[in-house]
Amino acid sequence: MRYFWIALFSFSAMLINSAGILVIYKNQRWADRAKEYCMCFAAGMLITSPLIMAFPQAIEKNSHAGIVALLGFLFMYFSNKIIKHKTKQKELAFGVTAVEGILIHSLIDGIIYTVTFSVSTAVGILSGMGLVVHEFAEGIITFSTLRQGGLSKKKSVIFAFLVSSMSTPIGAALAIPITNIVTDNFLGLMLGFVSGVLIYISASHLLPEASEHEQKHSSFAFILGILLAIFVTLAEH
């Protein structure tokens, strides 16, 4: 029964994420107008979620999670530096770095489904609902980020599906064989690393990029992302 719940939530996340990608693919004009709003909305969600949910849980599970969060932040920072140096293109570096973070995040989403359902069905459902809620927005964000990085619409759809949608059930599947040896301490370290990654993407990429092309009500989109993240966190508790 545990495997049923893991499959249900991980594939639901994949489908909802894919729906977000499809919506923005079919409505490119809307996407062009809404791109900066999506960036601000994403920034609000991705900076709030780790600070009020993932990171506190990580510290509770492992007192060294703060160090690993710093490592996650530095990993993304230096990854971006290396990509910029290799590509010599700011836009491409932006897209690759952001997608790298989303890939890590989505893989660990899948791992978290497996780990939480290994604790109990109730804990898994409660945690899973919060994760699934953000998948639609994440699909839109991933596609927009790839387009921002200079990829064509078709390539953006393909890579967004592989990076953001498929990675969640893959992460869940990879975690199943090692579920029995995953401890709370190790999960705390994983959550800490993801927190650092997400904070970097939001504070160092999405917000500065959106600010360069700020539109009317951009701040409202940012606040809306924060409020949604807070709502999801309260709903989980």
Of the candidates 115, 82, 125, which has an alpha carbon nearest to the alpha carbon of residue 190? Answer: 115
- What phi and psi, each to the nearest 5 degrees, are found at residue 63? -70, -15
Domain count, the chain: 1
CA angle 38, 100, 79 (to 5 degrees): 115
How high is the pLDDT of residue 66?
93
Q: Calculate mean pLDDT across residues 98-124.
A: 73
| Higher pLDDT among residues 125 and 14, named by residue | 14
Residue type for position 125: I
170-206 pLDDT, tens digit per residue, is 988 888 887 667 677 887 887 788 788 878 877 887 7
Q: What is the CA radius of gyration of the chain?
A: 17
Please state the pTM of the whole predicted model: 0.66
The set of residues, in sequence order, having a beta carbon less than 8 Å from that of 170 and lying 6+ positions away, is 107, 110
9-60 pLDDT, tens digit per residue, is 889 889 988 988 888 888 767 666 666 777 787 778 778 878 887 788 789 8
Q: Calculate mean pLDDT across residues 138-151.
A: 76
CA angle 138, 1, 135 (to 5 degrees): 5
How high is the pLDDT of residue 174?
86
The set of residues, in sequence order, having a beta carbon less than 8 Å from that of 58 and lying 6+ positions away, is 65, 68, 69, 188, 189, 190, 191, 192, 195
Q: What percentage of the chain carries pLDDT values higher than 90?
A: 7
- Give the three-state DSSP class for 63: coil
* CA terminus-to-terminus distance, the chain: 24
Q: Is the CB of residue 168 less than 8 Å from the CB of residue 107? A: yes
Q: Calculate mean pLDDT across residues 83-107.
A: 68
- Dmax over CA atoms of the chain, in Å, equals 50
Q: Give yes or no for residue 227 having a pLDDT over 80.
A: yes
- Cα–Cα distance, 145 to 228 (Å, whole number): 21
Q: Give yes or no for residue 84 having a pLDDT over 70.
A: no
Q: List the domain range (segments joined by +) for residue 123.
A: 2-236
Query: Is the CA virtual torsion 82, 85, 90, 96 positive or negative?
Result: negative
- Cα–Cα distance, 237 to 234 (Å, whole number): 5
Q: Which two tokens stand for residue 115?
A: 């780990």
